[in-house]
Homo-oligomer: A and B are copies of this chain.
């Protein structure tokens, strides 16, 4: 007795959590129920017209099939259904008239017309450009068959067609009224919010990435393991990258919606939202690549990273700030302040990072020197090379053994990194595969490295030394690339803000008034 009771309790808990997390779904479900009740009541009323009695099911069916989550989707489906029915009705009546003339061949004529209708509508439905009207073609075919088969039996082609159409109209009207009048859910609003959400997701991922890259130094030597929370950060960034199809769907529905709420303009530029999201995705790709650097096999020594720590952090925080500011602007539907340098700070930061790289560029080629000794003030590039040369000579033997050791551990811990990376792949048994997969290629590569090392021992370890330092170069230049891509993002945002007639920033107006006043003083 206790078991099912417990299961019930658990189910209720899950259901409650679900309801709390997605209140819109619950409201929508109640709306569906209400629409069904209304249409059922209409059908139960004893209207003298017998047709409604007979074809009641079509009204109910329309409500069930047309009632979609967002208003745009409902309008779209209702339109498809109406148009499909209308076309099919007209065509079926014509064919029915013709079939009466064929006399004995009547049934054969009807059946072959059904074949042709089925063939043509399916071919057209599968044509890529017609994808949006898929439902319309389905309804067309259904109605066509229904009128011909049902109508033939009862010899009431016209009556069947008209009644079906009327009941569909009633059903669609009930759906639309309930859907629009009670707690409307607009696809456009969803698209707007999705874009805003994506902006902050990318901003978080960017900051997280840099933090992790610098934090990793500390963890690295002690546990030689990843902190492993980048999965969460990725998730946001990946979902921003992946949301393409969702955005396109929402856009398709939003275009159907009449002006509403904050989106008062006719022909609201929903396409620009999708374009903006595309530009954001362009930035997100770089963030993913930055994440890829964290997961990659060849890693820069922590000491080298620390040298650039403050600059990296500044670029990332400024970049994230720009993204968050844009997100806020979109959310509030404000324009950027005219002549405002939203990118000023991040560009400065990038420039500084670039300068630092330039000054410390020797670190990016050979990591040996930075493993032990960190030259502090080497703006004078004449000194720079001398010191490095000395370092090289002195530390060569020591650093060789170190790099070799590092290399080995990297190779062994590789597959675990790889698995944490491929959150993308999902559905991976995390640890099981791991222990098993030290197979073929794994061993192959390391054995290959070994033989290679025997021959060119000296060259080999140097190679990995430089490779590991280059990884830092990759990371920093990707970050700078990100800053460049931000510019395009801002451009696209301005395009959107123009097209959608965003209001002028309030702060901006205040500032203008102030400056005018101070000008008068």
Contacts and interface: CB of A to CB of B under 8 A. Distances in A.
Interface of A: 18-19, 22, 25-26, 28-30, 32-37, 40-41, 43-44, 53, 56-57, 60-61, 64-65, 69, 107, 110-112, 114-120, 122-123, 126-127, 138, 141-142, 145-146, 149-150, 152-153, 242, 244-245, 271, 274-275, 278-279, 281-282, 285-286, 288-289, 292, 296-298, 336, 338-339, 341-344, 347-348, 351, 354-355, 357-358, 361-362, 364-366, 381-382, 385, 388-389, 392, 414-415, 418, 421-422, 424-428, 433, 437, 439-442, 444-445, 448, 452, 459, 462-464, 466-467, 470-471, 473-474, 476-478, 480-481, 484-485, 487-488, 490-491, 494-495
- Residue of A28, A382, A424 with highest tally of chain B CB at under 10 A: A424
A53 B153 contact: yes
A471 B466 contact: no
B57 A149 contact: yes
A111 B41 contact: yes
A25 B271 contact: no
A49 to B, nearest CB: 14
Contact of A123 (B25, B36, B433, B487): B25
B153 A282 contact: no
A343 B444 contact: yes
A149 B43 contact: yes
A362 B278 CA distance: 37
> Copy number in this complex?
2
Q: Which of A18, A116, A358, A388 has the most CB of B within 10 A?
A: A358
Contacts of A480: 298, 467
Contacts of A389: 382, 385
B355 A459 contact: yes
Contacts of A481: 292, 296-298
A340 B374 CA distance: 45
Contact of A149 (B56, B298, B424): B56
Given A122-B29, A123-B26, A37 B422 contact: no
A452 B349 CA distance: 12
B484 A298 contact: yes
Given A32-B122, A40-B114, A138 B64 contact: yes
Contact of A29 (B69, B126, B421, B427): B126
A141 B60 CA distance: 10
Contacts of A424: 278, 281-282
A100 B54 CA distance: 22
Given A119-B33, A298-B484, A355-B459, A440 B477 contact: no
Contacts of A484: 296-298, 414
B111 A40 contact: yes
Given A126-B22, A278-B425, A118 B33 contact: yes
Nearest to A465: B358
Nearest to A146: B57
A448 B347 contact: yes
Given A43-B149, A341-B448, A477-B474, A422 B364 contact: no
B275 A428 contact: yes
B29 A123 contact: yes
A175 to B, nearest CB: 12
A57 B452 CA distance: 74
Contacts of A278: 422, 424-426
A425 B282 contact: yes
A311 to B, nearest CB: 13
B115 A34 contact: yes
B354 A463 contact: yes
A149 B40 CA distance: 7
A428 to B, nearest CB: 7
A381 B279 CA distance: 44
A242 to B, nearest CB: 7
Contact of A470 (B36, B364, B385, B490): B364
26 contacts: A25-B126, A29-B122, A33-B114, A33-B116, A33-B118, A41-B111, A56-B149, A57-B145, A57-B149, A65-B142, A278-B425, A279-B422, A279-B425, A285-B288, A296-B481, A347-B445, A355-B463, A357-B467, A415-B488, A415-B491, A418-B485, A418-B488, A439-B491, A439-B494, A440-B490, A467-B477
Given A389-B385, A466-B361, A60 B437 contact: no
A465 to B, nearest CB: 8
Nearest to A468: B477
Nearest to A351: B452
A281 B355 CA distance: 35
A470 B473 contact: yes
Contacts of A285: 285, 288-289, 292
Contact of A107 (B44, B64, B466): B44
